[in-house]
A = this chain, B = another copy of it.
């Protein structure tokens, strides 16, 4: 369904959970949410039943959608950093760390995207995958190829997934001969071509928007970074890049940019740090660098699965939050091993616990469940510039949501050896807080039975059940 086609007014009835602040998760057990023809939330009632809500808002004709017993609505996840072309390498990294991993796995895979047929299979697969994990918005790195980058934007628009889509810029000697931009001017022209295309297919940017994407400092010459900074300013575009992921990388940046005070200074000098800049990783920043990033209003994408998998380090997220940084979560496929933000919610918590165990920060380092869920939704929304539109169920926001449906323990416990409802067992005595926590710590994509973006259904599984008011399932 095209993103601009009007939809019918729908009233969603059942339990919903969402972050109302960094530290507070609200669970509303009897929610009634009205979504209008544009996918915008017209009302949220927490005390009224369906009929009273219809009456109050004069929405007698709206279609009701009731949840089944163990189901609840949660805001769609926001993936603030991922590399769509690397998905075929998901789960492959052997014994590598960042710099050899790039040469062994990443560059050969990305260079193959000169083949559009191959690109189409991988991008269709990956967008389907991320939607299936409840990701309603993603910030994608593509490759250096304009046609394949544009194709990724087409796929996102067709599937209705909100996306920032960026053609990757890289021209330095770190990039292999077979995979780099031929010159700075060519890189800028190609980036501009992709920006123009993406703006042509979605002029209002309601689903897809371009993002200027210098890979990371070691992949770019100073001249390139400055040219990219100018392009982003001229185009008033988002920028995404990597920063301070790995100690070897930081040493390399120092060597390649001897005139710069720090990794952050390399970007700052090139006017890459803006309020529309997304910096992935930010693990080993000095206090000076953190202050600069905060002063420029740039934001941070925390990628805990990736940081653990390729042994990059533990980003001090609790401290960065205290300092006032804007932070979301990123899957960073395929440095990360899982395209699910829920998996990264867990790993954000685990990583903070490792920091807590192994540093003198102690309890102060720990992220709570509530905080990690905030990062996955409202935090991510702020990172990609959508904090007024998505991330929670509030009047005036657009309805980007996932239906989470948990399994019942059946047949005296045996479940006939089948667990099609997913990995979570609900015995029947759990509170709603317990149910949500069980989902957070042991749920997966099987529990995400339906996904909406702007009120449009963009993914459903065979377990998706809309219930009639009488409790019967609607086919």
Tell me the smallest distance from the CB of A475 to a CB of chain B, in Å: 16
Separation of A7 and B475 alpha carbons in the complex (Å):
43
In the complex, are the beta carbons of B358 and A314 less than 8 A apart?
yes
On whether A417 and B350 interact (CB within 8 A), knowing A87-B425, A357-B313, the answer reads: no
Nearest B-chain residue to A283, judged by Cβ: B357
Separation of A132 and B418 alpha carbons in the complex (Å):
8
In the complex, are the beta carbons of B350 and A427 less than 8 A apart?
no
Please tell me if A338 contacts chain B, counting CB pairs below 8 Å. yes
Stretch of A265-273, A376-384, A387-395, A436-444 lying at the B interface = A436-444
Interface string of A332-362 (1 = CB under 8 A from B): 0000011000000010001001101111000
In the complex, are the beta carbons of B442 and A122 less than 8 A apart?
no
Separation of A117 and B91 alpha carbons in the complex (Å):
42
In the complex, are the beta carbons of A337 and B412 less than 8 A apart?
no
Chain A residues within 8 Å of chain B by Cβ, number: 65
In the complex, are the beta carbons of B413 and A92 less than 8 A apart?
no
What is the total number of copies of this protein in its complex? 2
In the complex, are the beta carbons of A413 and B91 less than 8 A apart?
no
Separation of A126 and B337 alpha carbons in the complex (Å):
27
Tell me the smallest distance from the CB of A406 to a CB of chain B, in Å: 10
Report chain B residues within 8 Å CB of A420: 462
Nearest B-chain residue to A305, judged by Cβ: B350
Interface string of A390-425 (1 = CB under 8 A from B): 000000000000000000010011110111100111
Please tell me if A445 contacts chain B, counting CB pairs below 8 Å. yes
Separation of A195 and B91 alpha carbons in the complex (Å):
44
Please tell me if A219 contacts chain B, counting CB pairs below 8 Å. no
Separation of A359 and B357 alpha carbons in the complex (Å):
12
In the complex, are the beta carbons of B121 and A413 less than 8 A apart?
yes
Separation of A308 and B350 alpha carbons in the complex (Å):
6
Nearest B-chain residue to A337, judged by Cβ: B441
On whether A442 and B337 interact (CB within 8 A), knowing A122-B413, A425-B90, the answer reads: yes
On whether A412 and B121 interact (CB within 8 A), knowing A308-B353, A419-B445, the answer reads: yes
Please tell me if A47 contacts chain B, counting CB pairs below 8 Å. no
Please tell me if A115 contacts chain B, counting CB pairs below 8 Å. no
Please tell me if A248 contacts chain B, counting CB pairs below 8 Å. no
Separation of A311 and B313 alpha carbons in the complex (Å):
18
The 3 closest A-B pairs by CB, nearest first: A124-B413, A91-B441, A125-B413
